[in-house]
Chains A and B, each alone.
Chain A
Amino acid sequence: MKRPSAFLMTRPDFVVRDIELPPVPEREIEGLIRYRLRSLYPGDPEETAFDYALTRAEGSRRRGRRAIVFIARKAVVDEYKAKAGRRPLALPFTLLRRMALREGSMRAWVVDGTWAEHILFDDGAPVSSVVKIYGRGEAFDLSREDAALGPEIAVGPPILAASEEALAASPLPRDAQAMPLERLLLGLRYEDGIFCGRSRAARTRAASRIAGLSVAALVLGILLALKGIATAESRADDLQAQALALEKSSANALSLEKDIERLKAESDRLAAATPRDAYLLFSALYRTLGDDARIQSVAMQDSGFQVDATGSNALRSMERFKEHPEFTGMKLAQVVPDAKSGRERFTFSGTFNGR
């Protein structure tokens, strides 16, 4: 036999109450029920565990908002939890609820050995619950139990949810529908279980919140990534513009450098082509020979020249020419001293580089 996915608790261990809820936010329902617990259950509230399920479909205006409250001693619930392990805990209502929401109006017997519960659903919401307990030697009999319910409750064909073994052992009336309990337990979702620590609504809210937060985080992440892309692309564009400006500047600088080189070459060429200045030659000759010298003749050809002159000391004059930076290749050709005057007649030649 397959192990059931949900753990069916003994219905008589629980008190189930159908209560009307005032218009309060869903998050306050648990507190409201806890506040009303003393009026719903005779035990010590500190020692009492409860869970609830909302029974009105969202948006329905047919009747006020209601909740089915499951109440038991805390110790009993803890014992079931220990036995169930990770399996969801179930009661007949939790097993039938989804089917009732689909079917609308239906009634069903859930039978589990020593007890049975009949639940009548109208428009998906439970309107009647009858619990039977069987002692030793007693057994569930559908025809008898249905007859005991009375015509106002036993409306329409029933669904009988019992173990496959029990269903096989007892033949059903023609209009009854058999539902193996194992299949119902196997099909129960974890979130449809009770006493799971949080109510289904809270779990749904949490799941919605997580889903919403995940979507928000995803959207935020995408927006941040897009912002990052925009920033990176903007930076790349700025750097590209900067690089282009620098390239343009560099090209301008290169062009300027070429202009400068060309102009320097032309300037040097023009400066080198400057004709020699005869006036500068004569000025330099007079300054270098000194006041006591007298030029007799000068022959000049391009930069070369030859001078006949008289003076008191030809050698001293030549020393001065040697120190002058613009005279080069100076040669003293001949010196003829004049005994009468004490002066010397001399001839010298050289090159003048002044321009």
Chain B
Amino acid sequence: MADKVDRRLLYVLAAAVGIAAVVVAGGLIAERLSDARARAERYETRSRALRKTLLPEADLARERDALDRRVARLRARYYRADEISPYAFGGEVKKRLRSAGMTVARYQIMESKGKSFLEFAVSGRARSFLQFLRDVSLQGKYWTIPSMTVDARAGGDVVEVVFKIGYEVIDETGH
């Protein structure tokens, strides 16, 4: 009789342990499942939000490259500080004036607001001076003419011109 009671108690204990194990395992499984689902939902929401705001990277890269090329092209039209001096620049201007057929009466180097300019007094045919201006406009670097007086009252096709001419310099930072 005692054996029977002991055996029954053993069965009840085993059943209780089994049920407890199943409940604990079930709880752990449910917890892991719930965690995984919550994680999936969180990342799905995040991805959805990112997709809504995401700009096409390839298009942006193309636009950036185009702007980069444009900036490089614009910066290439400036002289670097060590690339030229007022004397070399004056020689180049003089050469181009003569090449266009203008006669240089006088010229001088001037400083204004930290920039060097050359003031030229020249004469020649109006067409020749326009040719010179065209050369200045089409050559690769920026040459600037801040002031100029052209007098064509002498008659014929002859003009007398006094003008200031300089060049644009850019530093490493682009200023």
Contact = CB atoms under 8 A, between A and B. Distances in A.
Interface stretch (B91-99, B101-109, B130-138): B130-138
A233 B35 CA distance: 9
B13 interface: no
A228 B35 CA distance: 12
Contact of A242 (B47, B134, B136): B47
Indicate the size class of the contact surface on chain A: 35 or more
A271 B142 CA distance: 12
A270 B71 contact: yes
Contact of B50 (A243, A273, A302): A243
Interface stretch (B81-89, B117-125, B145-153): B145-153
A263 B147 contact: no
Contacts of B25: 222
Contacts, number: 140
A240 B39 contact: yes
Most buried by A among B43, B55, B61, B145: B43
A229 B142 contact: no
A189 to B, nearest CB: 10
A76 to B, nearest CB: 32
Chain A interface mostly: helix
A244 B126 CA distance: 69
Contacts of A263: 64, 67-68, 70-71
B150 A295 contact: yes
A202 interface: no
A276 B57 CA distance: 38
Interface stretch (A58-66, A143-151, A245-253): A245-253
A266 interface: yes
B33 interface: yes
Most buried by B among A264, A277, A295: A277
B36 interface: yes
26 contacts: A187-B4, A218-B22, A222-B29, A226-B29, A229-B29, A229-B33, A232-B40, A233-B39, A236-B39, A236-B43, A239-B40, A239-B44, A249-B54, A249-B57, A250-B53, A259-B64, A260-B64, A260-B67, A264-B67, A266-B174, A267-B74, A270-B71, A270-B75, A279-B137, A297-B153, A300-B145
Interface of A: 187, 218, 222, 225-226, 228-229, 232-233, 235-236, 239-240, 242-243, 246-247, 249-250, 252-253, 256-257, 259-260, 263-264, 266-267, 269-271, 273-280, 282, 294-302, 308
Given A233-B39, A250-B53, 7 more contacts: A225-B26, A249-B54, A276-B144, A278-B163, A295-B150, A297-B150, A298-B148
The 5 A-B pairs with the shortest beta carbon distances in the complex, nearest first, are: A275-B144, A232-B36, A239-B43, A263-B67, A279-B133
